[in-house]
Amino acid sequence: MLAHEGGCLCRDVRFKVTAPPLRLTICHCRFCQRATGSAYMVEPVFEKADFDLTTGAANIYRHRSEGSGKMVDVHFCPRCGTKLYLTFERFPDVVGVYAGTFDDPNWFERFDDSTKHIFLGVAQRGTLIPAGVRTFREHATTNSGEAIEPVIFDQPHLI
């Protein structure tokens, strides 16, 4: 696989990934709504070993998750403020990338078995959820790591 690159608005901080995402999380929680300024965050999740900063260094904002109580680190450009990726106390071996920061934000699949929509319980009204995708009212796992049974809609579902 060729590397896929991305970075911030001012191009001071650049990164690359060298493998496809492990999964794609489309998160509708209030944290992601605030962090993106949008209805949800599109977050491809990668093994840490497959993610590298290639230029510059990111600053970190530490945030305690209201759901898990664990720390989430938001990595952002110190010059332009672009949020680039997340690291997690709860999931220490992965990096979640803000999908819009890739040079080509469409290079990865969005509607395969590795895609899930989470926190639909607080999703913004008018959000359309595609048919056939795993969805969860809150997170996909309990705080102890047990899987939660998904809901899969037969038809597109309007929140």
Q: What are the extents of the domains in the chain?
A: 4-56+92-158
pLDDT at 67: 75
- Mean pLDDT score of the chain, rounded to an integer? 95
- C-alpha 118/C-alpha 140 separation (Å) is 7
Q: What is the mean pLDDT of residues 43-57?
A: 98
DSSP assignment of 54-120 equals EES--EEEEEE-TTT--EEEEEE-TTT--EEEEEESSSTTEEEE-GGGBSSTTSS-SSSTTEEEE-G
Judge whether residue 23 has pLDDT over 70.
Answer: yes
What would the pLDDT profile of 65-113 be if each residue is shown by its tens digit?
887 888 999 999 999 999 999 999 999 999 999 999 999 999 998 877 8
- Tell me if residue 121 falls in helix, strand or coil: helix
The pTM for the full model equals: 0.93
pLDDT at 112: 75
- C-alpha 24/C-alpha 22 separation (Å) is 7
Comparison of pLDDT for 2 and 149, the residue scoring more: 149
The confidence band for 50, taking pLDDT boundaries of 50, 70 and 90, is very high
Judge whether residue 1 has pLDDT over 80.
Answer: no
Judge whether residue 27 has pLDDT over 90.
Answer: yes
Q: What residues have CB less than 8 Å from 31, skipping those under 6 apart?
A: 63, 65, 66, 72
% of the chain with per-residue pLDDT over 70: 99
- C-alpha 84/C-alpha 58 separation (Å) is 8
In one-letter notation, the amino acid at residue 148 is I
